[in-house]
Amino acid sequence: MSTTTGQVIRCKAAVAWEAGKPLVIEEVEVAPPQKMEVRIKILFTSLCHTDVYFWEAKGQNPVFPRILGHEAGGVVESVGEGVTDLEPGDHVLPVFTGECKECAHCKSEESNMCDLLRINTDRGVMLHDQKSRFSINGNPIFHFVGTSTFSEYTVVHVGCLAKINPHAPLDKVCVLSCGISTGLGATLNVAKPKKGSSVAVFGLGAVGLAAAEGARISGASRIIGVDLNANRFELAKKFGVTEFVNPKDYKKPVQEVIAEMTNGGVDRSVECTGHVDAMISAFECVHDGWGVAVLVGVPHKDAVFKTNPMNLLNERTLKGTFFGNYKPRSDIPSVVEKYMNKELELEKFITHEVPFSEINKAFDLMHKGEGLRCIIRMDA
Ligand code: NAD
Ligand code: ZN
């Protein structure tokens, strides 16, 4: 048992005091884990768009002061009552959604949408007692999606922690906490392209490129990348994308362009933009008879998906996915193994690195649309 077990830990955390204002590194108190909770030491974290959305809080419920962050890798420091499958020293990836292993979703082979621990972006407290484990001089600082990884120590529900191979480098596999697993799983678990097939990927951000990586792993022979930003195309070549389409270069709808390129449509498509027009194109560009389209992007709250029902009657399938259909505790350890076996490449997603003290630089990079993932080193 470590000397900190059962004690409050004082450590550094990047606190978002107000919407859109730079994060401030503060000394915070982190309370011991309660029932079914685990306190972990974060070693590496990375920045994802979702952190930025909730930091800007435009159209979101503003919950401040808050500790953001949800893509990370860490080591268990201590466990609370009832936790039996993790112990101090275990290497873990926190995940913004969970797996209680007891609800109907967790018991279903087909779902990863746990009733108890499904993402809740409005909740800033722990489930057990509706209180925060973070404070500054006794004043609570709110949690974010149950992870709050922009802190040297954080407390997470055991159901939101994937126990992984201790030999896996946490500065690489931390990106599997969210976006990369989402895109990869959308292809491998949901679109399931056959070897030699054609796959269109809409949106070549980190999620879309992870979907392309999934298509590469599946042995797709044509991977067509679609993006409005031509700057993305050069980067995407490293991900096995074989052809590029910029909808801005054509007068006709992009689904028609793709149908012409592929003799009637692609076998699979994966939409990773969050824009409803791209969702419709991604569906309408799949081949009739067998084509499958998978929606990953999170749409505007008032968006409406419109298509002629004949497109479905003609034997096209439309699906959607949440976190690539992976169950965090049961499935993420095996995604880490794919990286360890050199089947999955992660290095190419990591384009920047900053010390924790310069975490705001990661936000600047994301604003400028530079790179894919910026790793934040907690010990620097
Ligand atoms: P990103 O902003 O880095 O990338 C999106 C890309 O889409 C950009 O390159 C942009 O130029 C392109 N784009 C935008 N509109 C387009 C259009 N109409 N046609 C073609 N390209 C277009 O975003 P990201 O981090 O890769 O995330 C992608 C989406 O996935 C977001 O909507 C995000 O919220 C969502 N997401 C979903 C889940 C899930 O579980 N379903 C999890 C994580 C992220
Ligand atoms: Zn559950």
- Please answer whether residues 75 and 164 qualify as being in contact, where contact means their C-beta atoms are separated by less than 8 angstroms: no
> Taking the model in full, what pTM does it have?
0.96
Q: How far apart are CA 270 and CA 295, in angstroms?
A: 6
Q: How far apart are CA 12 and CA 375, in angstroms?
A: 17
Nearest CA to ligand 1 atom 35: 297
Nearest partner of 193 among 140, 245, 259, 269, judged by Cα: 269
Tokens of 330: 């049961």
19 and 147 both lie in a single domain: yes
Looking at 306, 321, 336, the residue that finishes a domain is 321
270 and 372 both lie in a single domain: no
Question: What digits encode the pLDDT tens for the residues 200-210?
Answer: 999 999 999 99
For residue 293, being part of any structural domain is answered with: yes
Ligand 2: centre distance to CA 85 (Å) = 16
Question: What digits encode the pLDDT tens for the residues 105-145?
Answer: 999 999 999 999 999 999 999 999 999 999 999 999 999 99
Question: What digits encode the pLDDT tens for the residues 258-280?
Answer: 999 999 999 999 999 999 999 99
Share of the chain above pLDDT 70, in %: 99
260 and 355 both lie in a single domain: no
Ligand 1 nearest-atom number relative to CA 274: 32
Q: How far apart are CA 193 and CA 220, in angstroms?
A: 7
Tokens of 349: 């997603």
Tell me which residues have their CB closer than 6 angstroms to ligand 1: 49, 178-179, 182, 202-208, 226-229, 232, 247, 272-275, 277-278, 296-298, 321-323
28 and 151 both lie in a single domain: yes
User: β-strand 373-377 against 71-79: which pairing, if any?
Assistant: unpaired
For residue 357, being part of any structural domain is answered with: yes
Task: Provide the CB-side half-sphere exposure for 346 (13 A, CA).
Answer: 24
Pocket test for ligand 1, best of 298, 332, 363 (most atoms within 8 A of CB): 298
187 and 166 both lie in a single domain: no
Q: How far apart are CA 357 and CA 313, in angstroms?
A: 55
The DSSP-derived string for 139-151 is EEEB-STTT--SB
Angle ∠(271,277,280) on CA atoms, nearest 5: 65
117 and 190 both lie in a single domain: no
CATH number of the domain bearing residue 147: 3.90.180.10
For residue 282, being part of any structural domain is answered with: yes
For residue 267, being part of any structural domain is answered with: yes
172 and 187 both lie in a single domain: no
Ligand 1 nearest-atom number relative to CA 229: 11
Ligand 1: centre distance to CA 93 (Å) = 23
What pLDDT score does 211 carry? Answer: 98
For residue 311, being part of any structural domain is answered with: yes
For residue 328, being part of any structural domain is answered with: no
296 and 156 both lie in a single domain: no
Residues taking part in catalysis: 48-50, 70-71, 100, 103, 106, 114, 118, 178, 373
Other beta carbons within 10 Å of 309: 7
Nearest CA to ligand 1 atom 33: 297
For residue 92, being part of any structural domain is answered with: yes
Residue 369 predicted with pLDDT over 90: no
**Residue 32 pLDDT level (bands cut at 50, 70, 90):** very high
Share of the chain above pLDDT 90, in %: 95
Within 239-358, residue ranges assigned H as helices are 254-261, 276-284, 310-313, 328-340
**Ligand with the closest atom to the CA of 117:** 2
What pLDDT score does 60 carry? Answer: 80
Residue 1 predicted with pLDDT over 70: no
194 and 169 both lie in a single domain: no
- Start-to-end Cα distance in the chain: 26
Tokens of 168: 């896996």
Q: DSSP letter for 339, please.
A: H
Nearest CA to ligand 1 atom 6: 203
118 and 172 both lie in a single domain: yes
CATH number of the domain bearing residue 278: 3.40.50.720
Structural domain containing residue 43:
9-177+346-377
Number of domains in the chain: 2
Token pair 């401030």 in the structure block, residue: 24
In 23-106, which ranges are E strands?
24-30, 37-46, 71-79, 91-94
SS3 content of the chain, % helix, strand, coil (to 5): 30, 25, 45
281 and 212 both lie in a single domain: yes
269 and 303 both lie in a single domain: yes
Nearest partner of 22 among 370, 358, 375, 368, judged by Cα: 358
Q: How far apart are CA 142 and CA 134, in angstroms?
A: 7
Work out the mean pLDDT of the chain and round it to a whole number.
Answer: 96
Token pair 């159901």 in the structure block, residue: 159
For residue 336, being part of any structural domain is answered with: no
Ligand 2: centre distance to CA 107 (Å) = 7
Nearest CA to ligand 1 atom 15: 273
